[in-house]
Amino acid sequence: MLPRHSIPLKEGRLSHPRPAKTRRKSMLLRTTRVIIAVVAAWLVISFLLFRSPASDAKSQTSTLVTDRGWRTSSTDITTAESSEPDSTLQKTPDEKSIGENSAELQENVEDQNLPQSFSNIVEDSENSTNLDLEPDLFEAALDYLLSTAPNEFYIKQILRPVVSTGEAKLRDLGLRTRIYKEFFETWENVHLVSSDENQTYVRNDIVPYIRDKFSESTYPGILHKYDSYRKFVTKLSALLFPWTSPYFADHMSMHTSLRHGGRGIVTTAGNGQAQFLLAAIPSFRLLGCDLPVEVMYLGESDLNEDFRIKLEAMPGVTTRDLSALVNDEGWQLNGWAGKPFAILFSSFREALFIDADSLFFVNPESLFDDPEYVRTGALFFRDRNISPERKQEWLQKILPEPISQAVQQSRMWTGESGHQQESGVIVVDKWLHFVALLLVCRMNGPDRNGNGADIVGTYDMVYGDKETFWLGWELVGDTSYSFHPGLSAVMGVVQPEIVDAVQPEIVDAVQPAVMDVVRPPDNFNAINQQPALSFVDGIAVASPTASPPVELAPTPESNPTICAPQLLHLDRENRPLWFNGWVFENKFADGKRVLGKFDMFMAEPSKPQVPEAWQLKEHNLCCLSNSTPKNFTTQETEWLEELLELVNIVGN
């Protein structure tokens, strides 16, 4: 082995040792590098440990819409190839409706993992549909839409014809409309854009955006998903609510037209009611209401040109032919059924519907400031607390689970009365409750009438349109509505005679059914914890052991009574707010009708009584007893006199 000094040196090396100064400089450099590395490592670790969840979520959201995040195989793409739905098809022996097994449909809904509200990603304090999306949020909305596109099996299940009837059909429609609501809102979150000029537009550049955003290899798959989603939403809207076309191209166009529609009064009138409006609308103006008014009618035969000219001669009043807006091919829109359609097709976002025979003691516009309307965007009024009837079982048949607490506290559920709502006045923000109102219209449209045989219509199950509003909200799962807390009342002259007392044996039988409303506990089970029912003369009543005692009415010697066709609604201070039934003793009387006399008013008892406080007579005449009459104030009396004078002037 060669000595060390004889080994050839590698290129660039010196045989003599380095100077001490060079070694110190090299050591200092290495130390500096170590310090820099430690500091850099500390910064990286700190960033990873202490960065905010929001920034992490934002980063994750942004990656969801990148090309890499959307590499979709062709096997993931599903399209709906089912034939066009026909809502008029009747059941054949080999057909099976989803409505016949609503539990199966509800299970399918859960299995599909329906899209939740996009408000989980972005919230809009003004409404539930999110506009003005920033680029990142728009991409997240698009990502959400594509990720929730339904599969082919699910599409075929939901788009099957609606062939059930009665309770099963209402439940079926409720389930399908809940599905439609979720997909429709997701679709709108991607396509609606609001400008700085308070205008809302439909964005039609989604396909070019997808083409530019994604690579050539992934673009076809993404486009197929988008097209499949569009096809599904379009077909489902045509299956459930086809009568909005052709006046509106689609439901999104109709919904968009409402967003900046402002507030206004909506009413309906034919030749028999137009005379009422010639006095009612001026009375609103005298109370300080300057809202525009749209009077809806159903063709020339419903409201003739002479009345239309008179109505439009009043400032701020427009008449509109509802028959030109609604496609009622295969069925006919008429009568009470026109109310929800008039509300929906009016140009206002916030609609105050007032029956032609309804009059106010205060400015009707004040209802928009009612705390319950401000909170929910939908304000309803209760009917008379009359005719005890338990409809809990029926409600359980039509309403998808879970059944809301509001339903469990309703008169129909507790048996207090078979009448919950009256539809003389309705206040609704249509932008917020658009889909619920669509279903209410369907309940009063093609599905309202049965044939007396194998088809059961909505009006076979409830009395006219009045209950369809709150029930329609519940069927859709839209529980954001409220009933005005004021009591119902009657106004007129106190009668000297006494209303016939109810026979004692009937009192004993009915008493359990007219129990006070029992507020269910938080763990209330709508099905398993109800009191047992027994039947007396064919009337279902609760077991006496489960019913709290009811108040007994005053003795006949001190039993004041007021009989009148007018239904008066009181405000929160129990003063007169508005009433319907016009001002005649009997508006249905033949020949010259007599104006009523209104000396006092009487509120119905806050709790059910035995015998019943209300008694229904002929010609919609209702008598209220068992309560304390109250005098009108001087101002209220003077206003009633002015109303009667207005009626005389227009020649009612």
DSSP code per residue over 580-611: ESTTBS-TT-SSSPPBP--SEEEEPPSS-EES
Residue 548: is its pLDDT beyond 60? Answer: no
168 vs 589, which has greater pLDDT?
A: 168
Regarding whether 213 and 279 lie in a shared domain, the answer is: no
Q: What is the pLDDT of residues 190-220, one digit of tens each?
A: 999 987 778 899 999 999 999 999 999 999 9
Do 308 and 314 form a contact (C-beta atoms < 8 A)?
no
* Res 36: pLDDT: 74
584 within some domain: yes
Q: How confident is the model at residue 106 (pLDDT cuts 50, 70, 90)?
A: low
Q: How confident is the model at residue 149 (pLDDT cuts 50, 70, 90)?
A: very high
Q: How confident is the model at residue 23 (pLDDT cuts 50, 70, 90)?
A: low
* Res 136: pLDDT: 76
The percentage of the chain sitting over the pLDDT mark of 90, rounded to a whole number, equals: 62
Regarding whether 225 and 294 lie in a shared domain, the answer is: no
567 within some domain: yes
Regarding whether 326 and 268 lie in a shared domain, the answer is: yes
Q: Lowest-pLDDT range, 126-140, 238-252, 451-465?
A: 126-140
Rounded to an integer, the average pLDDT of 246-273 is: 96
Residue 261: is its pLDDT beyond 90? Answer: yes
Q: How confident is the model at residue 559 (pLDDT cuts 50, 70, 90)?
A: confident
576 strand-pairing partners = 570
Domain total of the chain = 3
CA pair distance 348, 328, nearest whole angstrom:
22
CA pair distance 206, 193, nearest whole angstrom:
12
Regarding whether 289 and 143 lie in a shared domain, the answer is: no
Regarding whether 623 and 474 lie in a shared domain, the answer is: no
Residue 20: is its pLDDT beyond 70? Answer: no
Residue 14: is its pLDDT beyond 80? Answer: no
Neighbouring CB atoms inside 10 A of 564's CB total: 25
| Residue 568: strand, helix, or coil | strand
CA pair distance 647, 652, nearest whole angstrom:
6
One-letter amino acid at 24 equals R
CA pair distance 622, 419, nearest whole angstrom:
14
535 within some domain: no
CA pair distance 202, 191, nearest whole angstrom:
5
Most confident of 78-87, 458-467, 609-618: 458-467
From 241, 269, 284, the end of a domain falls on: 241
Per the prediction, the chain carries an average pLDDT of: 79
Rounded to an integer, the average pLDDT of 268-274 is: 96
* Res 52: pLDDT: 37
Residue 93: is its pLDDT beyond 60? Answer: no
**Exposure string (b/e) for 121-134, b if CB count within 10 Å is 16 or more?**
bbeeeeebbbbebe
Query: Mutual orientation of helices 219-240 and 434-443 as an angle, nearest 10°?
Result: 40
57 within some domain: no
* Res 506: pLDDT: 34
Question: Biggest alpha carbon distance in the chain?
Answer: 141
CA 345 distance to own-chain centroid: 16
| Residue 231: strand, helix, or coil | helix
Q: Lowest-pLDDT range, 88-97, 219-228, 297-306, 333-342?
A: 88-97
Residue 133: is its pLDDT beyond 60? Answer: no
The percentage of the chain sitting over the pLDDT mark of 70, rounded to a whole number, equals: 70
Helix (H) or strand (E) holding 491: strand 488-492
Regarding whether 567 and 617 lie in a shared domain, the answer is: yes
Measure Cα distances from 261 to 114, 256, 326, 347, 351 in Å.
Answer: 31, 10, 19, 6, 9
Regarding whether 158 and 299 lie in a shared domain, the answer is: no
CA pair distance 165, 380, nearest whole angstrom:
27
CA pair distance 175, 169, nearest whole angstrom:
10
Q: How confident is the model at residue 546 (pLDDT cuts 50, 70, 90)?
A: very low
CA pair distance 435, 490, nearest whole angstrom:
35
Beta strands 622-624 and 561-564 are antiparallel
**Which residue is associated with the tokens 């029926």?**
394
* Res 275: pLDDT: 95
Residue 117: is its pLDDT beyond 50? Answer: no
314 within some domain: yes
* Res 495: pLDDT: 87
CA pair distance 20, 515, nearest whole angstrom:
105
Positive or negative, the Cα torsion across 401, 404, 407, 408? positive
Reduced DSSP (H G I as helix, E B as strand, rest coil) percent helix, strand, coil of the chain, to 5: 45, 15, 45
Residue 130: is its pLDDT beyond 90? Answer: no
Residue 537: is its pLDDT beyond 80? Answer: no
- Backbone region of residue 591 per phi and psi (left: phi > 0; alpha: psi in -120 to 50; beta: other values): left
Q: Lowest-pLDDT range, 28-32, 355-359, 454-458, 567-571?
A: 28-32
Regarding whether 438 and 302 lie in a shared domain, the answer is: yes
Query: What torsion do the CA atoms of 403, 406, 412, 416 make, to the nearest 10 degrees?
Result: 140
* Res 76: pLDDT: 33
41 vs 200, which has greater pLDDT?
A: 200
* Res 337: pLDDT: 96
From 485, 501, 528, the end of a domain falls on: 485
Helix (H) or strand (E) holding 488: strand 488-492
| Residue 354: strand, helix, or coil | strand
Q: How confident is the model at residue 104 (pLDDT cuts 50, 70, 90)?
A: low
* Res 180: pLDDT: 98
643 within some domain: yes
* Res 50: pLDDT: 45
Strands in 256-371 per DSSP E: 263-268, 293-297, 317-321, 350-354, 359-360
On the CB side of 443, CA atoms within 13 Å amount to 37
Residue 538: is its pLDDT beyond 90? Answer: no
* Res 330: pLDDT: 92
Nearest of 210, 652, 166 to residue 453 by alpha carbon:
166
Residue 443: is its pLDDT beyond 90? Answer: yes
Residue 297: is its pLDDT beyond 70? Answer: yes
398 within some domain: no
Measure Cα distances from 336 to 8, 401, 426 in Å.
Answer: 112, 29, 14
Regarding whether 465 and 327 lie in a shared domain, the answer is: yes
Regarding whether 269 and 379 lie in a shared domain, the answer is: yes
Regarding whether 312 and 188 lie in a shared domain, the answer is: no
457 within some domain: yes
* Res 41: pLDDT: 67
From 455, 485, 515, the end of a domain falls on: 485
One-letter amino acid at 446 equals P
Nearest of 567, 433, 563 to residue 498 by alpha carbon:
563
Regarding whether 345 and 274 lie in a shared domain, the answer is: yes
* Res 588: pLDDT: 74
Q: Extract the tokens encoding 102.
A: 């609503």
Task: Quote the domain boundaries for residue 144.
Answer: 135-241
**Angle at CA of residue 261, ends 259 and 267, nearest 5°:** 125
* Res 539: pLDDT: 36
Give me Rg for the CA atoms of the chain: 34
Rounded to an integer, the average pLDDT of 43-56 is: 47
Indicate which CATH number applies to the domain containing 475. 3.90.550.10
Give pTM, 2 decimals.
0.76
